[in-house]
């Protein structure tokens, strides 16, 4: 560590410290108070009022409001101009209230979704940063950094602050976001006098010793002195959204599918609404004397008919066609245009007839005809509102946000929304070993030196040998890790800051009472360095000590280290290596079979030279005259939960492949322990990187399917494996943590980075990050991904069922003599039930254990399966049949039964029973839709979904209130029912539960059940 003296001038005090100690905790608090915290000011939020008004931009809502306003005018004319005291504003006011309620619910649902994503984005500030505080390396959240902090940076990190380099080794930085230069920029340490205040406004990204927040470290390592934080960084000044883990909230394939489905449903709904409008308008005209009166004036009749045709054509061109285009289905064929022309011409004819009647002083007949047509128009628009699932994409976003939040709470942080749905279709998981499958609680279990194996109980004897000091140097100096030591509750707690494997080696020295920092402080000059990489598989350091001696150290994979060695050191003797090579390889094989991760060490003394002489790293790396010192076998046992997680993958039809930089024997041993390689391993392959590289592209896909372990792998191997699996049609998860893992993470269907040990480059490239680096969290992600897709299907099944029944009732009612089986306010109430509350209830259903017994969901799977179609048709026809039987046969009606010749007021009890039966059917059908297959129960895990129960109970309570309390009943065209009527209706509507079960049985018997359990042996 260089002995830089640093000064921090604050308003009323002067803070001084050295680069070997860093800020103290007290000094850090003082700096934070003076310069502020490392937080960027978030962009201004959109006005809540504007967001609310935006909800009224929906074309169907505008049409409904227009028709309600027109109804208000007509009713006012009837009541005050013609003196018709029976005309009232209840229905009109009810429409306004229902529209307001629907928009409010949609508005608050979207606000809830936005808050979910805000909460997720805040998790991005929790990424740990390595900092020197109180003389020790520690980890802090990015927002806790202050001016004056000393930050450790290494390859793959993203600079969290602006700062000046105090130390830099072989450092190359990507700062293209600021300079536009695509090539990596070399950086070196400063030679300035370090008063931080003088650096505040005097540095730029073009300075060779300056790094700006957001710059990516591509190579080397460094120590950075923080000069700017938060909004005062270069990134903060230009207000650039460059946070590494920003969520991508653009449309995903699922939302695109749902938008397309919504468009198709909308067209059907609009077509049915048009038909209902035409039928109701025609009925009102045939029942009015106006057409026959007009017929008597033949010339006027002809003129009005022609005018109606012209006006109808104009309405088709400028109203109907744009409306259907807004639904995503433009009217392109002649037949479609003609079908749209007929109701437009009928509307024009009716309006012309009304105007003619007004000129003939037939005011009462004119307004009555206009009122009937307006009533038909409002009903038609209400049907469109019910049928058009305009809230479907929005509710899907809420489901995605809920899913993502739940996954985050279970250590699976989603960075791109598409990952939360794609992971449910995964068929292959390619996982790293260290820290993901294993505990990452590494500790040396074996040291091979002096031709002997030293176990932990024999480490004391090793420390007495002449070789010990050489091993201490090899471990302490050629390492970028640090130990953080603190006292907690009277106990000394030692934790690693940096690479866990290097940390385990430092802990090995700590246990031997060796201060690794003193060893490092003895270095007077670092001559050159090479960091460990997946391709190189070793690290190198050349240095000069206080005695002027120069030496190069290499640490890494045994086969790479041994290939560079010509000699070996046993105690204090250096002998030729070749006679002992077979013996050493034999010892390596035994250590690998014990599932130990092995690191070998070698050294070479360099000739004396003047202080200005440096070395080329590659030149030293290619030498083959190194002296072999020995190797250390590090134990990293499998996580206890991984065996069950791997088994869950197999049960779910998902292959698991382990990709590791460890030796083949060690990797296979771990793979057998966790069940990746099973007892029947005849068709399961374990290959090394060299063996994998020999496979040609033609045979690779077939071999890739059989691979279970890929040892000594490189990032190129990962990328090639993903590409081979894709050619075989697999959906692949790939985990990674290194700088060079980015191509494979991007190529995979779901790239998963390690949140604890992963580099910022890997996190930048990934779709998800594991907060705990645990393989079990990958399986949790698959579980939640499948649950998301199934919950969308549950909601769709419910919504389409209600749509189907409402459309049938509204269409068949006028044909069967029931002009308005459902009023506008009733239809809008049903719309609120199915478009919003039901979505929330069904989209929050918890994952079920059986979900991981199904085959993977194909990525191109239809949202609506044939089995769901059978259920929707069967349940819809059953409900409609019961509804009209109850209406015409007078079921549960204590007064006079329904009579088509009577007014709604005279049939009020029958129509109330009709409406109540329909809503209570949906009460039970929500439970039905929780089960999509025959092997699911409608009532499973209900206690774990309290939101579902609250919503179901709340809707039922509101339904009772709107029937039993007259102020509400006046708006919803209801009258109070007796207790026995409620009991009978509840018992009758429960029959939809066995009917839905029969639908699932029928779908299963016909082979239409899309979700089948895997064979048990899988």
Residues marked as catalytic: 432
Residue partners of 901: CB distance under 8 A and separation at least 6: none
Structure tokens at 266: 């909308």
State the Cα–Cα distance between residues 867 and 646, nearest whole angstrom: 31
- Return the closest-CA partner of residue 847 out of 775, 792, 791: 791
* Helix segments in 594-714, DSSP class H: 617-621, 642-651, 664-674, 689-693, 700-706
What are residue 741's phi and psi, to 5 degrees? Answer: -80, -10
Q: What's 790-856 look like in SS3?
A: HHHHHHHHHHHHHHHHHHHHHHHHHHCCCCCCCCHHHHHHHHHHHHHHHHHHHHCCCCCHHHHHECC
* Helix segments in 287-391, DSSP class H: 290-295, 298-315, 321-326, 334-359, 363-387
State the Cα–Cα distance between residues 162 and 230, nearest whole angstrom: 9
Structure tokens at 717: 């191997």
Cβ proximity of 411 and 601 under 8 Å: no
Residue partners of 647: CB distance under 8 A and separation at least 6: 675
The number of C-alpha atoms within 13 Å of 263 and in the hemisphere containing its C-beta is: 14
| Other C-beta atoms lying within 10 Å of the C-beta of residue 884 | 19
Structure tokens at 373: 């047509």
What are residue 607's phi and psi, to 5 degrees? Answer: -65, 150
Strand partners, 438: 638
Cβ proximity of 119 and 97 under 8 Å: no
State the Cα–Cα distance between residues 423 and 36, nearest whole angstrom: 40
State the Cα–Cα distance between residues 16 and 148, nearest whole angstrom: 10
What is the SS3 assignment for 129?
A: strand
List, as own/partner pairs, every contact residues 126-131 make where C-beta atoms lie below 8 angstroms and the sequence separation is at least 24, other chains included.
127/244, 127/245, 127/755, 127/760, 127/763, 128/756, 129/160, 130/482, 130/497, 130/498, 131/22
State the Cα–Cα distance between residues 830 and 359, nearest whole angstrom: 41
| Other C-beta atoms lying within 10 Å of the C-beta of residue 361 | 9
DSSP 612-631: T----HHHHHT---EEEEEE
| Planar angle of CA 248, 174, 216, nearest 5 degrees | 60
């Amino acid at each position: 560590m260089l002995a830089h003296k640093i000064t921090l001038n604050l308003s009323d005090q002067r803070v001084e410290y050295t680069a070997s100690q860093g800020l103290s905790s007290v000094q850090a608090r003082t700096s934070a108070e003076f310069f502020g915290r490392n937080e960027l000011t978030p962009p201004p939020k959109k006005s809540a009022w504007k967001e609310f008004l935006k909800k009224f931009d929906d074309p169907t809502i505008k049409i409904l409001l227009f028709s309600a306003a027109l109804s208000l005018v007509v009713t006012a004319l009837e009541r005050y101009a013609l003196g018709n005291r029976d005309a009232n504003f209840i229905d009109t006011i009810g429409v306004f209230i229902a529209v307001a309620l629907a928009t409010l619910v949609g508005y608050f649902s979207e606000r809830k979704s936005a808050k979910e994503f805000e909460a997720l984005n805040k998790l991005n500030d929790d990424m740990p940063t390595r900092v020197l505080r109180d003389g020790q390396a520690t980890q802090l959240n990015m927002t806790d950094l202050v001016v004056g902090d000393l930050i450790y940076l290494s390859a793959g990190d993203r600079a969290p602050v602006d700062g000046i380099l105090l130390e830099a080794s072989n450092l190359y930085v990507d700062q293209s976001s600021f300079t536009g230069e695509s090539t990596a920029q070399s950086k070196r340490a400063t030679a300035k006098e370090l008063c931080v205040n003088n650096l505040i406004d005097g540095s730029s990204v073009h300075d060779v010793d300056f790094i700006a927040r957001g710059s990516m470290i591509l190579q080397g390592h460094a120590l950075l002195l923080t000069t700017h934080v938060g909004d005062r960084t270069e990134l903060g000044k230009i207000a650039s959204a460059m946070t590494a883990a920003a969520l991508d909230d653009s449309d995903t394939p699922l939302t695109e599918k749902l938008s397309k489905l919504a468009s198709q449903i909308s067209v059907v709904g609009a077509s049915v609404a048009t038909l209902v409008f035409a039928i109701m308008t025609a009925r009102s005209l045939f029942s009015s004397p106006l057409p026959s009166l007009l017929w008597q004036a033949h010339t006027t009749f002809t003129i009005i008919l022609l005018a109606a045709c012209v006006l109808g054509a104009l309405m088709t061109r400028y109203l109907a066609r744009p409306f259907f285009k807004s639904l995503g289905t433009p009217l392109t064929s002649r037949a479609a245009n003609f079908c749209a022309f007929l109701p437009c011409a009928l509307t024009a004819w009716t309006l012309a007839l009304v105007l003619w009647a007004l000129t003939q002083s037939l005011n009462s007949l004119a307004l009555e005809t206009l009122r009937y047509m307006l009533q038909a128009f409002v009903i038609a628009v209400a049907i469109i509102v019910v049928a058009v699932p305009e809230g479907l994409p929005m509710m899907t976003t809420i489901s995605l946000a809920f899913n993502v939040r739940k996954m985050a709470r279970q250590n699976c942080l989603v960075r791109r929304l598409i990952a939360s749905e794609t992971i449910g279709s995964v068929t292959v998981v390619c996982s790293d070993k260290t820290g993901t499958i294993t505990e990452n609680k590494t500790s040396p279990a074996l040291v091979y030196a002096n031709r002997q194996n030293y176990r932990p109980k024999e480490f004391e004897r090793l420390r007495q040998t002449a070789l010990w000091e050489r091993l201490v140097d090899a471990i302490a100096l050629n390492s970028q890790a640090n130990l953080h030591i603190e006292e907690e509750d009277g106990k000394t707690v030692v934790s690693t800051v940096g690479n866990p494997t290097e940390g385990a080696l430092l802990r090995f020295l700590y246990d031997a009472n060796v201060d690794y920092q003193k060893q490092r402080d003895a270095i007077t000059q670092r001559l050159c360095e090479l960091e460990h990489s997946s391709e190189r598989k070793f690290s190198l350091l050349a240095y000069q000590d206080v005695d002027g001696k120069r030496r190069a150290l290499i640490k890494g994979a045994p086969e790479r280290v041994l290939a560079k060695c010509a000699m070996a050191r046993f105690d204090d003797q250096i002998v030729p290596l070749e006679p002992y090579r077979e013996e050493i390889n034999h010892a390596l094989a035994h250590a690998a079979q014990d599932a130990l991760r092995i690191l070998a060490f070698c050294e070479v003394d360099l000739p004396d030279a003047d202080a200005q002489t440096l070395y080329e790293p590659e030149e030293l790396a290619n030498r083959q005259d190194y002296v072999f010192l020995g190797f250390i076998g590090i134990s990293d046992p499998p996580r206890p939960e991984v065996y069950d997680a791997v088994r869950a993958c197999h049960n779910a039809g998902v292959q698991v492949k382990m990709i590791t930089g460890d030796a083949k024997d060690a990797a296979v041993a771990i793979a057998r322990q966790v069940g990746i390689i099973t007892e029947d391993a005849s068709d399961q392959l374990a290959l090394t990187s060299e063996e994998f590289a020999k496979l040609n592209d033609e045979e690779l896909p077939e071999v890739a399917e059989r691979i279970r372990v890929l040892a000594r792998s490189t990032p190129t191997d990962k990328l090639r494996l993903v590409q081979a699996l894709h050619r075989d049609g697999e959906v692949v998860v790939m985990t990674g943590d290194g700088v060079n893992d980015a191509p494979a993470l991007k190529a995979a269907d779901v790239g998963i980075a390690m949140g604890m040990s992963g580099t910022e480059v890997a996190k930048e490239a990934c779709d998800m990050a594991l907060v705990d680096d645990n393989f079990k969290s990958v399986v949790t992600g698959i579980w939640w991904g499948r649950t998301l897709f199934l919950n969308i299907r549950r909601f769709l099944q419910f919504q389409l069922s209600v749509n189907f029944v409402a459309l049938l009732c509204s269409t068949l009612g006028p044909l069967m003599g029931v002009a308005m089986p459902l009023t506008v306010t009733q239809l809008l109430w049903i719309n609120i039930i199915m478009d919003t509350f039901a979505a929330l209830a069904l989209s929050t259903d918890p994952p079920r254990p059986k979900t991981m017994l199904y085959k993977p969901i194909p990525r191109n799977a239809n949202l609506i399966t044939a089995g769901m179609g059978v259920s929707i048709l069967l349940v819809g026809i059953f409900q409609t049949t019961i509804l009209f039987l109850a209406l015409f046969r007078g079921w549960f009606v204590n007064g006079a039964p329904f009579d088509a010749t009577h007014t709604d007021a005279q049939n009020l009890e029958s129509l109330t029973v009709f409406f109540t039966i329909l809503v209570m059917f949906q009460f039970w059908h929500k439970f039905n839709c929780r089960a999509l297959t025959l092997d699911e129960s409608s009532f499973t895990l209900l206690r774990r979904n309290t939101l579902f129960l609250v919503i179901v109970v709340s809707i039922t309570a509101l339904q009772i209130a709107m029937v039993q309390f007259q102020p509400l009943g006046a708006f919803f065209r209801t009258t109070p029912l007796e207790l026995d009527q409620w009991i009978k209706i509840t018992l009758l509507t429960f029959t939809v539960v066995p009917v839905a079960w029969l639908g699932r049985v029928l779908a299963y018997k016909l082979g239409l059940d899309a979700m089948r359990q895997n064979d048990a042996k899988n």
